[in-house]
């Protein structure tokens, strides 16, 4: 029997969204689904109709934001690797000061 669960759907969605070849198709498909009147629970049912849309938008926003964060980290690491003039014990614009108590 095939193991079909919400976790497997989420994993498929996440892995496909992280694939650059399919990323924009998944984002476009998600937005079309959310704004379409035809879906699993129609929007004219109060609260229940909006639950699937809100859950899907939540997953989309969290995954896309994680992709943006990962891209920013990668860009920062590449920038640091490309600029070897900064030594590893030197901080950018940070000054170490010894504090002295005055009573």
Cβ-proximal residues to 14 (8 Å cutoff; 6+ apart), any chain: 59, 63
Closest CA relative to residue 13, chosen from 70, 68, 59, 57:
59
- Asked if the structure places residue 66 within a domain, the reply is yes
- Asked if the structure places residue 63 within a domain, the reply is yes
- Asked if the structure places residue 96 within a domain, the reply is no
Query: Domain containing 11: what range?
Result: 7-82
Q: What pLDDT, on the 0 to 100 scale, is given for residue 69?
A: 92
Residue 60 and residue 30 in contact, taking contact as beta carbons nearer than 8 Å? yes
Give, rounded to a whole angstrom, the gap between the first and last alpha carbons of the chain: 76
Domain count across the chain: 1
Mean pLDDT of the chain: 82
> Residue 95 has which token pair?
């000054």
- The answer to whether residue 50 scores a pLDDT higher than 80 is yes
Please tell me which of 8-17, 47-56, 85-94 the model is most confident about, judged by mean pLDDT: 8-17
């Amino acid at each position: 029997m095939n193991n079909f669960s919400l976790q497997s759907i989420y994993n498929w969605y996440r892995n496909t969204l992280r694939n650059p070849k399919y990323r924009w198709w998944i984002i476009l498909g998600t937005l079309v689904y959310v704004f379409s009147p035809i879906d699993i629970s129609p929007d004219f049912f109060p609260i229940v109709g909006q639950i699937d849309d809100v859950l899907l938008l939540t997953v989309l926003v969290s995954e896309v934001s994680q992709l943006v964060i990962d891209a920013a980290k990668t860009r920062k690491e590449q920038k640091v690797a490309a600029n070897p003039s900064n030594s590893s014990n030197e901080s950018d614009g940070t000054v170490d000061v010894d504090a002295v108590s005055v009573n």
